[in-house]
A = this chain, B = another copy of it.
């Protein structure tokens, strides 16, 4: 098994991308959460979104405003939140990716609960290429 060599200069390449992804990660979390709530409860109320995200209600409202601006969700004042086609598609992708990351962690030997927790942070930084490798890895044996 070849240990990777240090590649200091290349390292910097990843940093700026990482920054860009941080705001995308929040959008993904909200979209995923909204999809989950709609699936479980038939609708996604602001209060429920806030509670599950672990933030205050105005924080959730502000995030939803941004989701609407980005074309991922819709909502009418004092009504529930809905996903656009684009939002629903994103939710599906994010959910699938989450499952794959969890499965990979578990196959490696990470305890189930830890895998769920860590996947929440990790999943947003898994590129398409890496996801492809993950799928192949899960199909082995």
Contact = CB atoms under 8 A, between A and B. Distances in A.
Interface of A: 1-4, 6-8, 10-19, 21-22, 25, 29, 33, 36, 40, 51-55, 99, 102-122, 124-127, 129-130, 133-134, 136-138, 141
A122 B125 contact: yes
Contacts of A18: 25, 29, 120-121
20 contacts: A3-B103, A4-B102, A4-B115, A11-B33, A11-B52, A11-B120, A12-B53, A12-B54, A14-B116, A16-B53, A16-B54, A18-B120, A18-B121, A105-B130, A114-B129, A115-B130, A117-B127, A118-B126, A118-B127, A121-B124
Main secondary structure of the interface of A (DSSP, over half): helix
How many copies, total?
2
A105 B134 CA distance: 9
Contact of A36 (B11, B22, B117, B136): B11
B54 A15 contact: yes
Given A11-B36, A17-B117, A134 B108 contact: yes
